[in-house]
Structure 1
Amino acid sequence: MPRQLTVLPAPDSPDAALGTVLPAVRAALGGGAPLAVLPAGPAATAARAVLAPDEPLEDGADVVVVTSGSTGGGRGVLLPAAALTASATATLDRLGGPGTWLLALPVSAVAGLQVLVRSVVGGTVPVVLAPGEPLADAVARMPGGRRCTALVPTQLRRYLDAEPGALRAFDAVLVGGAATDPDLLARARAAGVAVVTTYGMTETSGGCVYDGLPLDGVRVRVDDDGIAIAGPVLALGYRRDPEATAAAFTGGKFRTRDAGTTGPDGRLTVTGRLDDVVVTGGVNVAPQAVEGALREHPDVADAVVFGRPDEEWGQRVVAAVVPAPGAAPDLAALRPWVTERLGGPAAPRELHLVDAVPTLHTGKPDRRRVAARLGGGDR
C-alpha cells in the first residue's frame, strides 16, 4: 500500500518543536509515518503544493524537505532515514561524540531538521531557542557536558557582535547554509568561538564537508561541471519530478552546480554557484567573493551581489549594501576597495543602499528577491 506523507505546520514555540516535531522525526527515522514540516509564513502554501501530501509518496523516502528555491522554484527532496542518520552519525563522530544541541534554525530546512536528527541519534534532548530570546538565556537552559549548535552566517555575525560569551559556551558552532566571509570566521576564532564551517545541501542531508574535509564515507569530486558528491548521505531525488532527479543524481553522485577547487590535502574550497556567476567583460565574477570583500569595508554592515544585463559589459556587477551605523557608502569608495582585493571586473558598477538583506527561509541571501525589488541605481 502506498505511503502517505504527514505534513506538520512550522512549530510556533519551543514546546511545539519538542512536543510535536521531535517525536515525528523520531518516528520517521524508525520506519513510522513519513514526514515533512512546512516553513513559516507565506512560503507554506508553495511548499504544500510541492509536497502534494494527497499523492502517494515515492518508495524509500522517510522525510521530505522543501528547498529554499535559491535558483528558482523550490523542490521537495526525498530523504531516506538511512541518509539522515548516516549524516548525523558522521557529524557526531567528527565533533567528538554526542552532546546537547541548541536548535536555532527552522526545522523546515535541513540544517534545523538535522539538529533534531543528531539529537535522536545521540540520545539527547535538544534545547530550542525561543523567538527573540537572548542566546545566553538559551545556553543557561542547556545541561552540562558537550554543547553544539548550528547557525547561518548572519546569526554568527549578530551573536558575535552582541553575545560573544554565549558563543564561547559551545564546543562546536556549525556555520553553513551560505558562504561565510573569511573575515567573520577570523573574528569568531579570535574571540574563542569553536566555529566549524559546513558545506552541503538538502540533497546531501545537510552539511557533508566540515572545514573543507568530507565527513567519513562522503566523496567529493570537482570538475568543469562543478562539485559532485557521493556517499551514504545522498537523497533519492525530487518529489514528483523524475526529470530533475535524473539530471541531478547520476552515476551514484549528486551534481551540486557549485564551483570549487580542492587542494593537495583534499580540502574543498567552494567559490560560488555556477548559476550565480556574473560574466562581465568576458570575466567570471563570483558574487559571494564580492559580498565578502564589501562586508570587510568599515562602512558596510551587509551586502548582496548579483548581475544585470549591460550593453557594454554583457553583465554588470550590482551591489545592494546595508550601511554600517552612521555611514553612507558610495561607489567612489567601494569600487577601489573591491578592485584592490578582487580586480577591476569584480568592482560593482551599480549600487543600492538597503535597510536589510532579505533571506530565504533557510537563511541564505535571496538574490532573486533583491534583484526584483531594485530598479536602476548609481552607475
Structure 2
Amino acid sequence: MHVSWLDGSPHALAALDTALAAALNGGPAVLPLNSADPSAPALLEAMAPDRPAEPDTAVVIATSGSTGAPKGVLLSPRALTASATATHARLGGPGHWLLATPAHYIGGLQVLIRARLAGTKPAFLTGTGFRPDEFAAAAAPVLAENGPRYTALVPTQLVRLLDDGGAGLAAARAFDGIILGAAATSPKLRAQAAEEGVRIVPSYGMSETASGCVYDGVPLDGVRVEPDADERLWISGPVLSHGYRLAPELTAESFQDGSFRTSDRGRVLPDGRIEVLGRADDVINTGGVKVSAAAIERLLGAQPGVRDACVVGLPDPQWGEAVVAMVVASADEATLRAAVRAELGAAATPKRIEFVSELPLRGPGKIDRQAVRSRLVREGNPEGL
C-alpha cells in the first residue's frame, strides 16, 4: 500500500495525483493521510500499510469518524470512476476543477479523479485555513479555461465567501457548478447563494459511496437510495465501497445484499427527491417525548441572525435528557426558544442555548458533536438545567 502524506503543498498533491493514476490502473492502493493531523499516527497503525490491501482496492480512506475508532473505507477503481463519471453527467459534462478541500477526505480526492478522467489539470488551493482572496487566486487558472469550470466546497467555506463579498465571491460566481458536501446545506444558505448568483449543487454522500451520491435530492445515475421501516437510509449502486480495512465483521454488518446501511434517517418526497432527516442517533428522549436534534437545528438555522446551530441531548435528572443548543448567532435566547416552541412544541425547546463565535468542526466542515457536547457539559451545569 502506498502512503501519501499530505502537508498542503502543491508537491504533495501532485504526488498523490500520480499515485492515484497508478492505483486506478491496478497499481498499489493509496492511503492518503494528513501529516498535520494528530491522529494520523494512530490511523496509519490501524491501516497496517505493510499488509496487503484487500482485493480490488485502489484507495483506502482512513477516518476516526464520530466515534473516535479508526476505520478504513475500501474503494475500488470501479466505484471511484463510477462516481466521477456520474458527477460529470449530472453537472453538465467533464470540465476543469479546483481542489479547495483536503485531499485526504473523499470529497477532495474525487476532485483529482474527476479532473484526471476529464483529461484536465486541476488547480490547488494550498496552505492552511480558508481565505476568500486565496480562493480567488487559486481559482484564476481554472476560470481562465474554456468549458465547464467546477469546484467542491463545504458550507462553511461558502459562508465565508458570501460574507466577504469581494474577489472570492466574484470567483465563486464564475464557476459553472460548486458541489457543496460534508454537511447539510441550509435553506437559508441556498437562498443566499441564489441571490448572489452562485451556482451550488448540494450533495449527500460519504466515503462509503465514493463521495456525494445524491445531488440536490436526486441520486446519481445507477444509485438507489431507499429508507427502511425505521427511516434508515440504504444505498446501492456502482459507487459503493466493498468494505472496511481489516474489519470483516463491520463490513458484514454495514454491507448487505449489495446495499450499504447508512447512519442517517431520510424519506422519499412526493416528487421522488430524497430528504435526509439527520443521523439515526440524533433523536433526543426528553421527558418521554422523542424529538429530532436535526429538526431543531434546521429551525434555529432559519431564524434571522443565526449562522449555525448544533443541538444535543445532555443527561438530566428530571427530563432524562435535556435539549441543549450551541449557536452562532446575533439573536437573543428568548427569541430563539420562542421560535422553536411555536413550531416544534415545548419538548423540543432548548433548556439552554450557548452562544459561540464558531462551532467546533472535524474533518472537512462537519460539526464535531462530541466536542460540542463536551463543551456544553464543561461550561454549563446539565444537572441543574
Q: The TM-score by the shorter chain falls in which range? A: over 0.9
2:363 maps to 1:358: no
1:149 Cα offset (Å): 0.9
1:127-179 residue CA offsets vs partner (Å, 9 max, x unmatched): 11133552222222223221111111111111121143221111111111111
1:68 Cα offset (Å): 4.7
- The CA distance in 2 between the partners of 1:30 and 1:359, in whole Å, is 35
- The CA distance in 1 between the partners of 2:381 and 2:274, in whole Å, is 36
1:320 Cα offset (Å): 1.3
* Residue type of the alignment partner of 2:6: A
| Equivalence for 1:108 | 104
Q: What does residue range 291-310 of structure 1 map to in structure 2 within 5 Å?
A: 291-310=297-316
Q: Which runs of 4+ in 1 moved over 6 A?
A: none
| Equivalence for 2:73 | 77
2:179 maps to 1:174: yes
5+ long unaligned stretches in structure 2: none
8 A Cα contact 1:285 1:346, kept in partner: yes
Q: What does residue range 72-151 of structure 1 map to in structure 2 within 5 Å?
A: 72-131=68-127, 132-133=130-131, 134=133, 135-142=135-142, 143-144=144-145, 145-151=147-153
8 A Cα contact 2:79 2:240, kept in partner: yes
Q: What does residue range 63-74 of structure 1 map to in structure 2 within 5 Å?
A: 63-74=59-70
8 A Cα contact 1:218 1:232, kept in partner: yes
- The CA distance in 1 between the partners of 2:61 and 2:4, in whole Å, is 12
* Residue type of the alignment partner of 2:254: A
8 A Cα contact 2:43 2:64, kept in partner: no
Q: Specify which of 4, 10, 16 is matched with residue 14 of structure 1.
A: 10
* Residue type of the alignment partner of 2:250: A
- The CA distance in 2 between the partners of 1:364 and 1:322, in whole Å, is 15
Q: Specify which of 20, 31, 42 is matched with residue 26 of structure 2.
A: 31
Query: Across the two proteins, how many residue pairs are aligned to each other?
Result: 370
2:279 maps to 1:259: no
Q: What does residue range 332-371 of structure 1 map to in structure 2 within 5 Å?
A: 332-371=334-373
Q: Specify which of 246, 250, 259 is matched with residue 244 of structure 1.
A: 250
1:211 Cα offset (Å): 0.8
| Equivalence for 1:289 | 295
5+ long unaligned stretches in structure 1: none
- The CA distance in 1 between the partners of 2:307 and 2:270, in whole Å, is 35
1:50 Cα offset (Å): 2.6
| Equivalence for 1:278 | 284
1:34 Cα offset (Å): 0.8
- The CA distance in 1 between the partners of 2:37 and 2:67, in whole Å, is 20
| Equivalence for 1:192 | 197
- The CA distance in 1 between the partners of 2:208 and 2:42, in whole Å, is 19
* Residue type of the alignment partner of 1:114: Q
* Residue type of the alignment partner of 2:357: D
| Equivalence for 1:154 | 156
8 A Cα contact 1:83 1:232, kept in partner: yes
- The CA distance in 2 between the partners of 1:259 and 1:59, in whole Å, is 31
Name which of structure 1's ranges 20-29 and 63-72 shifts more when overlaid on structure 2: 63-72
* Residue type of the alignment partner of 1:258: D
> Secondary structure of 2:16's partner?
helix
| Equivalence for 1:42 | 38
1:65 Cα offset (Å): 0.2
TM-score of the aligned structures, taking structure 1 as reference length? 0.92
> Secondary structure of 1:139's partner?
helix
- The CA distance in 2 between the partners of 1:20 and 1:343, in whole Å, is 54
* Residue type of the alignment partner of 1:322: V
Name which of structure 1's ranges 26-35 and 298-307 shifts more when overlaid on structure 2: 298-307
Name which of structure 1's ranges 42-51 and 21-30 shifts more when overlaid on structure 2: 42-51
| Equivalence for 2:322 | 316
- The CA distance in 1 between the partners of 2:67 and 2:343, in whole Å, is 27
2:213 maps to 1:208: yes
Name which of structure 1's ranges 347-356 and 100-109 shifts more when overlaid on structure 2: 347-356
- The CA distance in 2 between the partners of 1:223 and 1:282, in whole Å, is 24
1:356-376 residue CA offsets vs partner (Å, 9 max, x unmatched): 211112220000122123322
2:62 maps to 1:57: no
> Secondary structure of 1:117's partner?
helix
- The CA distance in 2 between the partners of 1:74 and 1:283, in whole Å, is 34
Closer/same/farther in 2, CA of residues 351 and 205 from structure 1, 3 Å limit: same
1:281 Cα offset (Å): 2.9
8 A Cα contact 1:352 1:377, kept in partner: no
- The CA distance in 1 between the partners of 2:253 and 2:289, in whole Å, is 28
* Residue type of the alignment partner of 1:32: G
> Secondary structure of 1:344's partner?
coil
* Residue type of the alignment partner of 2:138: A
1:299 Cα offset (Å): 4.0
- The CA distance in 2 between the partners of 1:367 and 1:189, in whole Å, is 29
Name which of structure 1's ranges 156-165 and 359-368 shifts more when overlaid on structure 2: 156-165
> Secondary structure of 1:301's partner?
strand
Name which of structure 1's ranges 292-301 and 145-154 shifts more when overlaid on structure 2: 292-301
1:75 Cα offset (Å): 1.0
| Equivalence for 2:228 | 223
